[in-house]
Chain A
Amino acid sequence: MTAYLKLDHIDKSFARGGQVSEVLRDIRLTIDKGEFVSIIGHSGCGKSTLLNLIAGLTKVSAGAVLLEDREVDSPGPERAVVFQNHSLLPWLTVYENINLAVSKVFGSTKTKAERHDWIMRNLDLVQMAHARDKRPAEISGGMKQRVGIARALAMEPKILLLDEPFGALDALTRAHLQDAVMDIHSRLGSTTIMITHDVDEAVLLSDRIVMMTNGPAATIGEVLAVPLARPRRRVELSSDRTFLRCREAVLKFLYERHRFVEAAE
């Protein structure tokens, strides 16, 4: 069986004013269809860069991103991104924000009524149908992120890319949204890659956790499979042996073997 998404020996370096800084070196990873994979690492290890490479927003220096055996090197709606700061367009309502995506992606394949139904279905999925006529400034941070997720899902992506989607939210809202994402993942079976720096979040949501070494020239240090049955419930898991073992493994990787050293500048 060939991999759904394959990161094939990816290097990434940035050149600025004659200085070349190597951010990622020799990233190799395969992801199956329907898998939920988290990428975790200390800040500055290049995990967001890696996500941008998969999204096509930045170009690889060497190697390739292969989606269903086809190389992708430019952004497209089949790799939808949920940004950390939601990046909804503030002059459009919730509905119009999603409509922008839907009418671009399905403008020629769906009728107007079908597109409307599709927008409302996605809003329902994140429980935001009630706020369809509100502008982003009028809803809370968690709600904005829900709309951001709905917009990404509405593109019907092959891969959903989440860039620290809950980083800017308070703990309770974050837990709600994590549950929402788990629910959506179980319903749609969407292949998902999530960047995070929250160990609990990674273990709770993922099938596999990709742990990055520290930069510069960061690479994948270890990949941990999380053998927990779904659906997962956070309260039950908090005392589950497997959960705790996974959590410990990630913590050990991050804080013993690859401790974050503040760059002395």
Chain B
Amino acid sequence: MSIQAIEDTKVKAFPAPAKPAEVIAFAAKTRRRFDPVVIAGKLASALVPPAIVIALMLVVWQVACSSPTASLPPPSQVWNEAYDLIAHPFFDNGPQDIGLAWRVLISLQRVAIGFGLAAVVGVALGALVGQSVWAMRGLDPVFQILRTVPPLAWLPLSLAAFRDSSPSAIFVIFITSIWPVIINTAVGVRNIPEDYRNVSRILRLNQFEFFVKIMVPAAAPYIFTGLRIGIGLSWLAIVAAEMLTGGVGIGFFIWDAWNSSRLPDIIVALAYIGVTGFCLDRLVAAAGAIVTRGTTAK
């Protein structure tokens, strides 16, 4: 291939006729950081669609359950009969007659203890399994079998062991929520880049320093995934466990309402449980987002 000479096409640099520059006055920056209009718009776009869906669901439900032969109460009946529970979450009329918020708080307290223990023990065991090949070979098969045992299957055994309903419920929470924490932590620890390990070896970090300064931060995204699954499971388990163990938690309230045929109360309690579970999930997710900032970015 040959390159042909290009004829001089006489490109003329043309001096543009000088034009007086137009002075543009910049408008003063008027937009505030918290513009109420913008915030209202964002809120509306987040809240209006679910509000419409909920309203539609209520209408369908009302229509479906309005016939006299319907076995479940329509929303209007729930509102009328369970108004006390909806409007006054914090009333306290002595034992066994307290507002639903109190009951949720009591259940949450059990979850906090059981899940807290599961988080600490789970991260420690997960670190061991992730770090040591022999611990993994020994423990992993056991974990894989035990984690498939349904939460309530543990309950009779723990009632026999603790001889009291409250620690039994806490144990069920613990044993339910620990597996995802262990397994995710172990995966996270196994995935720590070899480079980070080399850095710690060159610095001669001891086991404890390595655990605190390298292992936990490096595995934090995995750990928080495990914690998030764990908190969801423990909220599932507490309601079931309380149904059987009694006491004053939200789970027992549902069982109690069923036994005295107060269906509207059960529906209100379900709403409480759902909202609380949602909040727990978001809480752990938010904590994870704060703690792991920077870790996932390369």
Contact = CB atoms under 8 A, between A and B. Distances in A.
Contacts of B205: 104
A83 B296 CA distance: 20
A77 B200 CA distance: 10
A57 B203 contact: no
Nearest to A55: B202
Nearest to B198: A57
Contacts, number: 60
Contacts of B296: 90
B193 to A, nearest CB: 7
A137 B296 CA distance: 9
Interface residues of B, number: 23
A57 B196 contact: no
Interface in A56-78: 56-57, 74-77
B103 to A, nearest CB: 40
A76 B297 contact: no
Contacts of A85: 195
Nearest to A81: B202
B132 interface: no
B294 A135 contact: yes
A55 B295 CA distance: 27
Scoring B199, B204, B293 by chain A CB atoms within 10 A of each residue's CB, the highest score goes to B199
B126 to A, nearest CB: 19
Interface string A71-105: 00011110111010101011100000000110011
B213 A57 contact: no
Interface in B208-222: 209, 213-214, 217-218, 220
B202 A76 contact: yes
A186 to B, nearest CB: 25
A74 B203 CA distance: 11
Nearest to B217: A91
Nearest to B295: A91
B203 A105 contact: yes
A100 B294 contact: no
Contacts of A104: 203-205, 209
Given A77-B203, A90-B294, A91-B294, A100 B198 contact: no
B298 interface: yes
B195 A101 contact: no
Contacts of B217: 89, 91
Given A77-B202, A81-B198, A105-B203, 15 more contacts: A57-B202, A75-B198, A77-B204, A80-B202, A81-B202, A83-B195, A83-B198, A87-B196, A87-B198, A89-B217, A91-B218, A91-B220, A91-B292, A137-B297, A155-B202
24 contacts: A56-B201, A57-B198, A75-B202, A77-B203, A77-B204, A79-B202, A81-B202, A83-B195, A83-B198, A83-B199, A87-B195, A87-B196, A89-B199, A89-B214, A90-B298, A91-B217, A91-B292, A91-B294, A100-B203, A100-B213, A105-B203, A135-B294, A135-B297, A137-B294
